[in-house]
Amino acid sequence: MKKIIFATVFSLFASGVFAQHTRHEFSVVAGGGLSALNYELPEGNRTLGLGGRAGVGYGYFWSPAWGLRSGLELGLFNSRADMSGFHDRFPAVDMDGTTFEFRTTLSNHRECQRAMMLQIPLMLQFQTRGQNQFYAAAGGRVGFPLRACYRTSATVVNSGYYAQEHYEYTNRPFAGFGRFENQTSEGSLNLRTAFFASAELGMKWRLNSRMSLYTGIFADYGLNNINSTSVVAQHPLIAYNAANPTAFPPNSVLNSQRNNRALTDKITPLSAGISLRLAFGRSCNRRTAEEIIAEEIMSVCAVEEQRRLVEKERNRFAEEQRRLMREQARLVAEQSRLEEEQRRLEAERVAAIETIQEPVEGFRLSQTTLTAAQKQELDKRIALLKQYPDLEVFIYGHTCNIGSRQANETVGLRRAENAKAYLISQGIDANRIIGTASKRDTEPLVPNVNETNRRENRRVEIVVR
C-alpha cells in the first residue's frame, strides 16, 4: 500500500510540474509478449513465460521532435522451473531423535512463478515530423512488487542412511522413506524494488488533430537483483520434518538451498513484446490557420486510409497473438510428452532395482560356490546392471542358524565374494561393486524352523546403493 501511495504522489507531482506548459499528451497503453523472472539454476530447466503490461501515461513535448514520457503501469511476469532429477542429502533427526542422512530425489517437478509490479517509466522520446511519425524512446523504469507467488508440485523419492547401522532405508513410508506422489505447495516470494533499462520504437499514427495511435515494440531489462531472500533464511528444496515425516511440500527454487548454497541467488525481471498506446492531446507544432485548415482537409481525406492501416495492424497483432498461443500449446504438449516418458523410464528403473535386489536362494548347508541355477538367476541381475550402468551395489551373503558364528561369518562372506567374482566375470565393472559383507543368520527371511525355511534363508542379496 505504501508503494502504491508513493507512486500515485509521484505521478501527481510530475503532472503538476508539467501542467505549467501547454504541450501535453495523455495516453492509455497496453502491451504483451515475453515477460518473465530471469534466473539461472544449477540443474533442471527454466522457462520464460508470457505476460504483459497496461496503464496510463503522460508526455510533455518541448519541441516537435523531443519529449519526456512517464506514467503508471501494471506489469505481469511469469516463469516456470523443472527440477526433475534433482538430488539432495543433508543431516536430519528422525522421530526417535536418531541422527541420519536424509536423501531425496525429485521427479515430475513443475513450479510456476508469477509476479505483479507497479511500474513508473521515465522515457526520453524522439519523433520525426510529418503526418505519420517514426518514434524512438529510451530511459528507465522503477517496478514496485505488489504480489509475487509460486505454485509447485513434484513426486519425491526419499531414503534415510543410518551410519551407525551402515544401512539405507528406502521403504519406510511412515518414517518418510519411500515414494510420495503429488506433493504440492504454494506461497509468496520476497522481491525487491526493480530498476529497468527500457527502450521502445515504432510508428505514431495521427488519427486526427487530437488523437494518435502508437504501435511499436519494447524491451525492458532488469538492472538489479530483486531476490531479497538471504541464504541464511533459505531451506532445502525438500525438507524433512520429524513431527510430520510423511509430508514433503516442496519449497520454491527461488528461496531454496543445497549444501549451504542458494539454488539461485540472482533474479532479474525482463520483458519484450508489442506495445499499443492511444494518445490524446494537441500537436506541439505551431501552425498557421492555413496550415490547420490544410491539415484538417488532409485528415478527412486520409481517415479511411488510417482506419485501414489500423485494422491491418490490429489483424497482424491478433495473428501474432494466435501464433504465440499455438506455439505455447505445442510446447505444453511436448512438455507433457516428455514428462510421460520420464515417468515411464522412472517406473522401469524402479522395477529393475527391485528385481536386482531380489535374493538368490537355494544354497545347501556350507555351500559357497554358485550352482548353474543360481548363476542363471544372477544373469538376470547382470543384464539389468548393464542396462543401468550408473547403479552401484553392495553384496551380502546370508546363512541359516546352523553352525557357529565364526563358521556362518565365513560362509556368508564367501557366498558374497563368489557372487561378486561372477558379476565381474560377466562384464560388471569392479568399481561398481562397493563391497561385500556377511550377514550370517542375523536377517532371516523366514523363521529357521525347518529345512525348507533354512534353505530360503541361505542366500545372496545384491543391494543397490
pLDDT for position 234: 73
In the predicted structure, residue 14 carries a pLDDT above the cut 50: no
Average pLDDT of the chain to the nearest whole number: 88
Q: What are 222's three cell numbers?
A: 532488469
Interstrand relation of 87-93 and 132-162 (parallel, antiparallel or unpaired) = unpaired
In the predicted structure, residue 450 carries a pLDDT above the cut 50: yes
In the predicted structure, residue 18 carries a pLDDT above the cut 70: no
In the predicted structure, residue 116 carries a pLDDT above the cut 60: yes
pLDDT for position 58: 92
Please tell me the distance from the alpha carbon of residue 52 to that of residue 34, in angstroms, as a whole number: 8
Report pLDDT digits (tens) over 190-200. 899 999 999 99
Please tell me the CATH code under which domain 357-464 is placed: 3.30.1330.60
pLDDT for position 284: 46
pLDDT for position 465: 87
Q: Which residues of 309-341 are buried (b: 16+ CB within 10 A; e: fewer)?
A: beeebeeeeeeeeeeeeeeeeeeeeeeeeebee
Q: pLDDT-based confidence at 299, cuts 50/70/90?
A: confident
In the predicted structure, residue 313 carries a pLDDT above the cut 70: yes
Q: Which residues of 125-156 are buried (b: 16+ CB within 10 A; e: fewer)?
A: bebeeeeebebebebbbbbbbeebebebbbbb
Find where cell 501552425 sits. Answer: 287
Whether the CB-CB separation of 100 and 150 falls below 8 Å is answered with no
Q: Which amino acid is at 242?
A: A
Identical fold, 2-286 and 357-464: no
Q: 20 or 380: which carries more pLDDT confidence?
A: 380
Please tell me the distance from the alpha carbon of residue 459 to that of residue 443, in angstroms, as a whole number: 11
pLDDT for position 19: 38
In the predicted structure, residue 104 carries a pLDDT above the cut 90: yes
Proportion of the chain above pLDDT 70, given as a percent: 91
Q: pLDDT-based confidence at 362, cuts 50/70/90?
A: confident
Mean pLDDT, residues 213-223 taken together: 95
CA atoms within 13 A on the CB side of 326: 6
- Can you state the angle between helices 372-387 and 289-356, rounded to 10 degrees? 170
Mean pLDDT, residues 203-227 taken together: 92
Fold classified for 2-286: Porin (2.40.160)
Q: pLDDT-based confidence at 323, cuts 50/70/90?
A: very high
Q: What are 25's three cell numbers?
A: 499528451
| From 17-21, 217-221, 278-282, the region with the lowest mean pLDDT | 17-21
As a whole number of Å, the CA-based R_g of the chain is 34
In the predicted structure, residue 31 carries a pLDDT above the cut 90: yes
pLDDT for position 459: 95
pLDDT for position 292: 60
Q: pLDDT-based confidence at 291, cuts 50/70/90?
A: low
Residue ranges of domains in the chain: 2-286, 357-464
Report pLDDT digits (tens) over 389-411. 999 999 999 999 998 999 999 99
pLDDT for position 232: 56
pLDDT for position 256: 87
